[in-house]
Chain A
Amino acid sequence: MKFALSSPQGRPLVRAMTLAGPAYVWLLLAVFLPLSVMLFYSFMSDVPTSGGNWSLTFQNYLTFFDEPLYRKLMVRSLGLSAQVTLICTVLGFPCAYMLAKVIRGRTREALFLLIILPFWSNGLVRIFSWNMVLRSGGVVDWVLNHLWPWTVNTDLMFSYPAIVIGLVHSYLPYSVLTAYLSLQAIDDSLIEAARSMGAGRLTILRRLILPLAMPGMLAGAVLTFVPVVGAFMEPRLLGGRKGTFIGTVIEDQFVAVFNWPLGAALSFTLLALVLAILFAGMRLSRRKDK
């Protein structure tokens, strides 16, 4: 029930703007303007502060199409993102289902909390912690050597699998949480109704539960896919030299090479691609609804 707190001083719009104004001015200054400026930058040939001549050019964007390296890295990043998203979704769903529909009471609250808690600790530190587990001499190594008669030296650190493991570990709680919220909204009586009509477990899963949980799962997928595509910290820490992705290249432009215009252009190309994929995904899910 909405009501307009119309006051002697002004129309609702004015009052609302006074209240919400500061927050949005901040967002404008710190997010939207910077993005616009960066867009402008991406068309520059050189950083203006260096005193050199600069002009508007498409060169930065063209580099993306000229240099096969960037395209390869983009594909590699998208591939990594897709893998991590898929693994998280598949691993997370059964977990969410058990929590939403099978486990009840205090245990459920406790387990749910346990799954969500790591999510709220520092991402950097959690990635770093895999170091202990994956390196040669680390936990995996140690356990395997104690179980296996042969000496095994697994050095999973600084490899592609390590990056995947670390990213899945970081984003798994997202998948569980979003799937859980969707599943929880499915009334038990719906499942009972399906059973009363003779449906077995698999049928109920396929025709009732998955379709109804899909919005949540998609949200979780998006929340995972987008950040991972731009990841640079995780690949660097866990992948070392094997950890080159579009995110690391963009980072380099800003931190090492100082070719900000190129970095900006690459960023926006990445953003455009991600938005295109999201858009396509939304279209697909809309069409399924019909």
Chain B
Amino acid sequence: MAEVNVIKVSKQYGESRALDDVSIRFAEGGLYGLLGPSGSGKTTLLRMIAGFVFPDSGQIRIDDQPVERLPVERREIGMVFQNYALFPNMNVADNVAFGLSVRHVDKSEIKRRVGEVLDLVQLGSLHGRRINQLSGGQRQRVALARAIVTRPRVLLLDEPLSALDKSLRVDMQVELRRIQRDVAITTVFVTHDQEEALTLSDRVGILRDGRLIQEGTARELYDQPASEFAATFLGDANILSGRLETGGMRVDDGSLIRFGVRSTVSNQTKCAVRPEKIALQRATGEAVPSAHNRLTAQVAHHVFAGVNTTYMLDWCGKRLKVHVQNSGDDLIPVGSQVTLSWSPDSTILVH
């Protein structure tokens, strides 16, 4: 395993900037997610680390060795493609053995290592099967086995779970983590699914329009998104715009929204609140703790979803969203005036 360092990398394709001065560090043995909408540059970055694409400027270092000029054949990486790219003219064992046979590893050694890795991905009994007889989940495991059997320095995965259906995906998430822990190879994967990024990775990097917007652990990114985009891309958020004043942000209806001591103030013009952090009370309800932020709004409609109910509220011409956990209370009827309240610690200042 090795540390991968991407240093100020840029890539331009004609008119568009695929990557704009991106720097990110992937520590040894970690499992990293690159998250972003399509066109964000995440796949370009992955392929650049792999060696299919060369940066216009900047450096890529694996184990502190500059590799950005090396073609992919010489970088000693392992890659799992979105469509798995298994060789149809070979069976499972030959597919997995390919990387080893290219390196002229001794036959008996190949057999041993192929057997080992197939056991690791729990496909030990299928080594003689032809590719077209495998299910989607099995193919993915073969692709994974094939990528790691050569003990690469870095493992790269392009949308590893997108081709699987829902139930399989959840199982594979667990499997992927297990295998990665076992082989301890620095792993980077690309996804557009925020849930995948959150559940699978140690750390996540959010990309948008070729730029790295924010990077951190799942918790950090969810609790402290730095931008409106990060706040809404990773989870739901209500965005309020306003002007910073001493003690809080003055928003559209004149209320002063307070934020907690952990927030860093730097000329933000918006703040965000997660829907599940807001409490809803009818006008005649109990008193709200004085330190909490308060807004008055009107219920536009509600959606009952068993575990919780989502309320959509009208406030100053905007729509706000609140998740209320199902505690047995009656649903607040449409049209009612309600008070939204939340702790200042739940206010997130965003750009």
Contact = CB atoms under 8 A, between A and B. Distances in A.
Tell whether any CB of A sits under 8 Å from a CB of B in the complex: yes
Given A187-B83, A190-B87, A208-B89, A197 B52 contact: no
Interface in B70-120: 71-74, 76-79, 81-83, 85-89, 98-99, 102-103
B341 interface: no
Nearest to A194: B98
Q: In the complex, which of the residues A192, A211, A212 has the most CB atoms of chain B within 10 Å of its own CB atom?
A: A192
A189 B85 contact: yes
Contacts of A195: 52, 71-73
A191 B73 CA distance: 11
Contact of B98 (A187, A197, A211, A212): A197
B141 interface: no
Given A189-B81, A192-B81, A193-B79, A199 B87 contact: no
B79 A196 contact: yes
- Which size bracket describes the interface of B in this complex? 20 to 34
Contacts of B76: 198
A51 interface: no
Contact of A197 (B83, B89, B102): B102
Given A190-B87, A203-B102, A208-B87, A198 B81 contact: no
- Which size bracket describes the interface of A in this complex? 10 to 19
A96 to B, nearest CB: 18
A149 interface: no
B85 A190 contact: yes
B85 A192 contact: yes
B146 interface: yes
Contacts of B72: 192, 195-196
Contacts of B50: 196
Contact of B88 (A194, A199, A212): A212
A39 B76 CA distance: 65
A10 interface: no
A200 interface: yes
B150 interface: yes
Contacts of B71: 195
Contacts of A196: 50-51, 72-73, 77-79, 147
Contact of A198 (B85, B86, B150): B150
Given A198-B103, A198-B150, A212-B89, A193 B81 contact: yes
A198 B102 contact: yes
B127 to A, nearest CB: 16
B87 A198 contact: no
Given A203-B102, A208-B89, A212-B88, A198 B83 contact: no
Interface in A158-175: none
B102 A199 contact: yes
A189 B88 CA distance: 12
Given A196-B72, A197-B150, A208-B87, 5 more contacts: A192-B72, A196-B50, A196-B73, A196-B79, A197-B102
Interface of A: 187, 189-190, 192-200, 203, 207-208, 211-212
